[in-house]
Amino acid sequence: MIRVPTSNLFLNRELSLIEFNKRVLAQAENRETPLLERLKFLSIVSSNLDEFFEIRVAGLKEQIKLGSLVRTPDGMESGEVFKIVSEKTHELVKKQYQLLNHEILPELAGEGINFLRRADWSGAQQEWVKAFFFRDLMPVLTPIGLDPAHPFPRVLNKSLNFVVQLSGKDAFGRASGVAIVQAPRVLPRLILLPREISAGGYDFIFLSSVLHAHVDELFSGMNVLGCHQFRVTRNSDLFVDEEEVKNLRVALQVELPHRHFGDAVRLEVSDGCPPHIASFLLDQFGLTPEDFYQVEGPVNLVRMMGVSDQIERSDLKYPLFIPGLPAISQKNRGDDIFQMMRKSDILLHHPYQSFQPVVHFIQQAAVDPCVVAIKQTVYRTGTDSVIMESLIDAASKGKEVTVVVELLARFDEEANINWAGRLEGVGAHVVYGVVGHKTHSKMVMIVRREGGSLRRYVHLGTGNYHPRTAGLYTDFGLLTCNEEICADVNEVFTQLTSLGKAGKLKHLWQSPFSFHRETLKAIKNEMQIAKDGRPARIIAKMNSLLEPEVIRALYDASSAGVKIDLIVRGVCVLRPGIAGLSENIRVRSVIGRFLEHTRIFYFRSDGSNNTYLSSADWMDRNFFRRIEICFPVLNSRLKKRVLTEGLKPYLRDNGQSWEMDSDGDYHLITARSSKNFCAQEALLTALSIVK
């Protein structure tokens, strides 16, 4: 084993996350990306940064406040990490707004899509805005003048607010000089003006501009000296002591409202905000200059993500496509889903192939009189879900429906609580998994009475049961009635709903019991094969790579001569390309139209080509603090599909791939010839119908 100081073995997690967002921003910078999609990628960066501050930066600040001297795996203390994070994030945000103001908005204007400043409003537009203000905005505003009777208000997490500078005295003789106006959450932040008052094309105005134009109407008889947008980001990590609570659902319902008022971690203000007002706001939120972001434009670019949905310009968007169907579905359109599964396992590759067979699988089970039971895990499914409605329908018809709902799915807690209530209302069995372990596995099991006996059918996936994200995220799903796989799935459901020791599984690797152990075993097996002088190969595709023991095993395998390719979309703290340690490891990240979400683990294993799919990354939490499954693809034809669709195209990609160096920096892989190959585009062409 190579002996290298621990601090040199790992990169920093937070800095790796910032690197990921740089790669997302590069999609917005790329002129080959359709213009409205560039705006969307710019907004995605803001959305990612919001969560980064709410969770990761909030955690750093909490450690600093507690005086923690614990070092991260890369050897840095929390204070050191926070300082670098602040510096790099400020650079990223500055670059983001420069791109918005100097490239994207001018180019959109050239296409007749305008984001109008107040100075550019025509007379007709000014009249429309005035009417909108008095009709839709002013009635729901509550300006708060600050004085001893009106302290600084509680500002909601990520809400749009205005600090207003005033002079003069009001009707009661008060002259505080400062007021706070909170923008109503019920109103859109971007407003598309009616065509009849537009100069042609699409004209948008910001809600903030409407308020700026008429803010004096809120302070009769006083002089408005300034009005400035601001937005505060708060710690949004929920604290629920699962060991202490008696009812997790009730505890979460109590805790969720507090998410809006956690400790402040970031303050964003518009560019015109004067220093003394900025200092005043920082004091109010207990923040330092390192937490302060003054931006040249709207303080919330996430709101611009939906702009393209309001614009009918297909030439400025990615081409539409119709997801394809696997060959067995095309040949057997008249057969029911269970009949098809009895003929052969079915592999679905989303979004290139339709998610509809999964929906149909559950819908058919809900109405099929031969189906006696349905069991499903739910992590993220959305507020409007045809799958959940089918489960409710099945329970209403008297079928045994068991749903393992993960209440602690971050930012989906409220939706999941609501679904749990509706399911219980029709007699479904609703359980919340295992205390201290999130249920993150994606599985459905259907039990059907056939010829006097019961037969099980399952769907296992790498992604959520969410039809909308199935059109945006790359994922694999497997429909099978293999008896041994089904028996393993049944065992996992029994663990989740009952009590008792974990039984041995035939094929599945499961967290927190066997997944980590079997992963290490598979890596070490390749290492031994290499030591014996035979070809050894590992290819792994995932969202994040963080777990130290797995990383050390990969280093050892590399040192033994195993060729390792890691396709890691987001965070990777492994250092590739270090002589004597990781010279046989390559790390690449693919960022494109679709969010790469598939987890695939391939081990050559002397030609057996063992191939696994999973909902889990190689992270501590996935191995030890979650219920996860990693399932093999046993059918040789489908195994070949996973390799030829899920791995090999990404290793060829020279259009949207970034290669990582040993310092954690990424470099865009460029074509050595004039021809680019983009994995996502190739898969769209091969598996779907592009319009």
Catalytic residues: 440
Contact 601, 523 (CB under 8 A): no
Alpha helices in 263-400 (DSSP H): 275-285, 327-331, 337-343, 356-367, 386-396
Q: What is the β-pairing status of strands 202-206 and 113-115?
A: parallel
Measured CA to CA, the distance from residue 431 to residue 546 in angstroms comes to 30
Task: State the burial class of residue 471 (Cβ atoms within 10 Å of its Cβ: 0-12, 13-18, 19+).
Answer: middle
Residue type, 467: P
State the DSSP string of 498-557.
S-SPPPPPSS-EEETTTHHHHHHHHHHHHHHHHHTTS--EEEEEES-B--HHHHHHHHHH
CA–CA distance from 111 to each of 38, 259, 385, 417, 484 (Å)?
14, 40, 36, 44, 58
Question: What residues have CB less than 8 Å from 108, skipping those under 6 apart?
Answer: 35, 36, 39, 114, 115
φ/ψ (deg, to 5) at 563: -80, 120
Question: What residues have CB less than 8 Å from 574, skipping those under 6 apart?
Answer: 10, 11, 545, 551, 554, 555, 566, 582, 585, 587
C-alpha dihedral, 214 to 220 to 224 to 229, nearest 10°: -50
Measured CA to CA, the distance from residue 199 to residue 29 in angstroms comes to 28
Measured CA to CA, the distance from residue 411 to residue 491 in angstroms comes to 29
Measured CA to CA, the distance from residue 94 to residue 188 in angstroms comes to 25
Two tokens, residue 286: 């207990």
Measured CA to CA, the distance from residue 406 to residue 432 in angstroms comes to 6
Two tokens, residue 686: 């091969």
Measured CA to CA, the distance from residue 89 to residue 94 in angstroms comes to 8
Task: State the burial class of residue 651 (Cβ atoms within 10 Å of its Cβ: 0-12, 13-18, 19+).
Answer: middle
Other CB atoms within 10 Å distance of the CB of residue 249: 18
Other CB atoms within 10 Å distance of the CB of residue 261: 13
Measured CA to CA, the distance from residue 369 to residue 426 in angstroms comes to 18
Two tokens, residue 444: 């459905």
Closest of 40, 146, 148, 149 to residue 99, by C-alpha: 40
Measured CA to CA, the distance from residue 395 to residue 603 in angstroms comes to 42
* Farthest CA pair distance, the chain: 90
Measured CA to CA, the distance from residue 11 to residue 6 in angstroms comes to 10
Question: What residues have CB less than 8 Å from 619, skipping those under 6 apart?
Answer: 544, 545, 546, 547
Residue type, 180: I
Two tokens, residue 222: 């006083």
